[in-house]
Every structure is written in C-alpha cells, then in structure tokens.
Amino acid sequence: MDNVIHAFTLVASFETVLALVFGTLWGIVVGALPGLGSVLAITICLPFTYTMHQVPAIAMLLAIYGGSVYGGMISAILINTPGTPQSAATCFDGYPMSQRGEADKALGWSTIASIIGGLLSCIVLIFAAPQLAAFALQFGPIETFALILLGLTCIASISRGSMFKGLLAGVLGLFMAMVGADPITGDLRFTFGSFELSGGFSLIPVVVGIFALSEVFDRIAQKNVDTFKAIAVSGIKLPTWTEYRPRIWVTIKSFLIGTGVGILPGTGAATAAFLSYAEAKRSSPRRDNMGHGEPDGLVASEASNNAVTGGALIPTLALGIPGDAVTAVMLATLTIHGITPGVRLMHDNPDVVYASFLTLILANLCLLPFGYIVCKLFARILKVPEQLMLAMIVIFCLLGAYGVRSSFFDLWVALAMGMLGMALRYMNVSLAALVIGLVLGPQFEMSLRQGLVVTDGRFSGFFTGHPIAMVLFCVTILMICWPLIRRFIGKGKPKPEMKSCAEALTVGVEEQS
C-alpha cells in the first residue's frame, strides 16, 4: 500500500504532469500526420528524457505511445490517409462516414473505442502481467502462423461483391510483402536488380498511395475538383449510450484481440486491428454495412490497436522482451534510467511500476480533451479551398512517404500505388484486401518459414504437438465453412406462417422475382 501511495505522489508531481500533457498532445499531433508514426514521435523526444527523473521520463514516453496510436485515426477518417499503419483499417468505415457528413460522429466513435480499449488493456496489464507474459512464451512460430492465417480469412469477408477480385487483390498484397530479402536466408527476391527494392515495400508509402493518392488522382481524372465536397467537421461527437450499447460485445472482443496480439512479440498494432476487423466482419449483426460507414468497423479497429499499448508492455515489463519497436525504445530508456525490466522489476522497483500503470491510465483519459483540440485544428485546415486541400493532401502524403526511410524511391512507390489504386477502383477491386495481404504478409511468411525449420520441412508437423495452433486452425476452418453451414441450416428451417392474404401475395411475388 505504501508503494501505491508513493506512486500517486510521483505521478502528481508538476514535472510528471507536464510530461504527461506534452507527451499526449505531441503524440496525437505526430500520429495524425501521415507517415510519421509512433517510433518517430518517441525518438524525437528521447534525448529530452535523459535529463529527466525516472517517472516523468516514462510518463512522457507512454503518453506519446498512446497518443500517437490514437492520432492516426484522425487523418484516416478525414482525408482517407492513416497517420500510422495501426489505423489503416479505420479508413474502411471512417472515411465513408465523413463523406456522408458524419465526420464528427466517426471521430467520436473512434475516440470512445480508443479510450475504452486502452483503459481495459491497462487493467489487464495491472492484474495479469506475469501470467499473460508466461502464456505468451508458449506462442512459437507455428502458433503465430495459425493466428495470422486466421486473420487472412477476412479477405474473403470483405470480397463478397466479387470473391475472385478480392482474393486476387489479397494475393497481390502477399506477393508485394515477399519483395526484398528472404527472412531466413537473406537472398534477394523479385528485386529485378534494383537496390532500392532489396528492402521491400515500406507499408506507409503503399497505404498512402492506395488510399489517399488514388482518391486525388480519381478526382483529377474525372475533372470534378471544382465540385469536390470538403469534409465538414466541427469536432468530436461522442455516441450516446443507446447507440453504443449494441456494440459493447464488439468492443470487448476487439480489446481482447488487441491485448493478446500486443503480448506476442513482433506482431504489432496493425495486425491486431485487421484481426479485430475480420472478427467484426464475421460476427457483427451489422456486418453487411461494414466498409460503407459502419461504426462497428471503427470500434473494432480503434479498440484493438489502442489495447495493444497495454498488451505490448506486458512482456516488456514482466520479461524484458519488447512487444514491438516502440516498446524496444522504451526498454532502452528504462535501462538508461537504471531500471532493469524482468521478473524482478515488481520486487525491485514497485513504485516505478505502479507509477507507470497510473500514467498509462491518465494518458488514455487525456485522449478525449487533447483529441478534441487536434480535431478542431484539422477542422480549420479542411476549410481551405478544395484545390488547395487536394494539393495539401498530396504534399503531406509525399512527405510522409519520404519520411519513413528518407528515400526518394518511396516517393515513386507512393505515386505508383496511387495509380494502381485508381485502376483498382475502376475495376471495383477491394483496396482493403490488398492492404491486408501486405500488412499480414511478412509475419505470415516469417512464421511459416520458421515453423518449417522447426519441423524439418514437414508441414504435417504443424498439426501435431501444438494444441494452441490446432485450436486456431479449427477456428479458421469453421470461419471459412460457416457461410455454407449457415446456408444449409437456413434451408432446413420452415417458412413462417402467413398472417394475411396480402402478406402471402407479397411473398409469392418476391419468390417469383
């Protein structure tokens, strides 16, 4: 109890509060700018933490982490360009809502889902960090392969209009993920002698081109720039309890997926967002509207990617194993300040641990007021003339694409992906399927290749001696076969009795048509 009281005292200090406020606001702003991302936001502020005390330094980094993951959804909703890869799935339903004049509602849905997902993951972090970290150690490459395979089934869910086109786009995304160095041998593949391609396709230039630049090119090609309707936004409009209540179960499942994926080292929030979106697309009562501006898609994506922040800290603090690139930077910061993460962290530095929990909770609560401020800023930007708006979108997109690796080649990639995205729009091919293949592809291949190394090249070894993987494989098969099962069950149901002759006549006409 004394340690908890001491932690409250540390968090309530002026230096910690200032670091928390600045970190949250800075993280949201950087996250909202396309292409910058959480790692860059933390890296810029990292030198300033060297002269700070332990708790304020940790508070600043945690606030930047949570704020940047949240901020990516602002540009995803307003200009169809995810500020961070974690928010790529938010574009699917956020931008359609903005196009029909519901940008405020879309920002509100994403904000409340982000806060709930982040807070719930903090609760899990506080009470179950050692146990969940131990469970995460049971996830080897075969279990990770089964998990990613389950996520890839969402390509079929979002391709119901044209299954062949959707699967083709997904395969194209998986192929693009294979460009570059082989993850096991290091051999170069599909580079065609180009040194720039040896590093593969960076996700941000591809996503920026596919979503944002293709939209701009499409409007220019149709010569309707003058009639372009700017996104109207005045701030954040939170959903009412009546609106949110039917989506509680979506929030809970997405938070669980995000926390679970965050615990697994090397997976990341983008993977969690797409896995949650796939699950919502499979099980939501409103799944037919997902992709056309359905809040379920926003809740699934944002609750999941923000829950990763708490989940990724579990192996970092409990085992000293970073869950992603951001927590790897935090791990280095803790070490610099004389804190050694691992099994004895709670015993050796209990006040610092409790203070970290408190600051992460406060950082999630700060998302609402500071998110409102940044959204108001974007609202002013969106009021500029339409031609200037499109030009600004192109400039921001190209700056974001260049800033990832400071490579001019990524500029050409973004432009090429913009042209490809425009062509896919004309052919009614799902852009989301391509991005899902690209996001999940590297981890899918890595886990598959590592699993084959473990089993001496025998794929049959994936199905023996790995109970967690077997459960995931069974769920994948069930999800693939579920439409056929549901159709078979539906055929066996008796037709409801007719209540009137008029109703019978209506049904008869519908059956003939």
3-class secondary-structure state, position 367: helix
Enter the pTM of the model. Answer: 0.68
374 falls within a domain = yes
Place of tokens 């192929």: 175
Confirm if 357 and 8 have CB atoms less than 8 A apart: no
153 falls within a domain = yes
499 falls within a domain = no
512 falls within a domain = no
Among 125-134, 235-244, 253-262, 468-477, the minimum mean pLDDT is found in 125-134
Q: How many domains does the chain have?
A: 1
- Answer whether residue 365 shows pLDDT above 60: yes
Is the four-CA dihedral 341, 343, 349, 354 of positive or negative sign? positive
497 falls within a domain = no
Residue 227: C-alpha distances to residues 89, 192, 255, 380 (Å): 28, 42, 40, 20
Half-sphere exposure of 147 (CA within 13 A, CB side): 26
- Answer whether residue 489 shows pLDDT above 60: yes
CA distance 289 to 285: 9
- In eight-state DSSP terms, residue 286 is T
Is the four-CA dihedral 349, 354, 357, 359 of positive or negative sign? negative
Half-sphere exposure of 14 (CA within 13 A, CB side): 0
Place of tokens 């090249």: 457
pLDDT in the model for residue 284: 80
Confirm if 315 and 321 have CB atoms less than 8 A apart: yes
- Answer whether residue 496 shows pLDDT above 60: no
Mean pLDDT taken over the chain: 77
Backbone dihedral angles phi then psi of residue 305, each to the nearest 5 degrees = -70, -30
Among 149-158, 210-219, 375-384, 497-506, the minimum mean pLDDT is found in 497-506
- Answer whether residue 170 shows pLDDT above 70: yes
The fraction of the chain above a pLDDT of 70, given in percent, is 77
424 falls within a domain = yes
264 falls within a domain = yes
pLDDT in the model for residue 235: 73
pLDDT in the model for residue 385: 66
Look at residues 108, 19, 109 and name the one whose alpha carbon lies nearest to residue 57.
Answer: 19
465 falls within a domain = yes
Look at residues 373, 136, 152, 165 and name the one whose alpha carbon lies nearest to residue 263.
Answer: 136
Q: Give me Rg for the CA atoms of the chain.
A: 23
Give the domain extent around 68.
2-489
CA distance 318 to 89: 30
CA distance 423 to 504: 46
pLDDT, tens digit, 9 for 90 and up, residues 6-20: 777 877 888 888 988
Cα distance between the two ends of the chain: 72
- Answer whether residue 309 shows pLDDT above 50: yes
- Return the top range by mean pLDDT from 254-268, 339-353, 407-421: 407-421
Structure tokens, 378: 């974007």
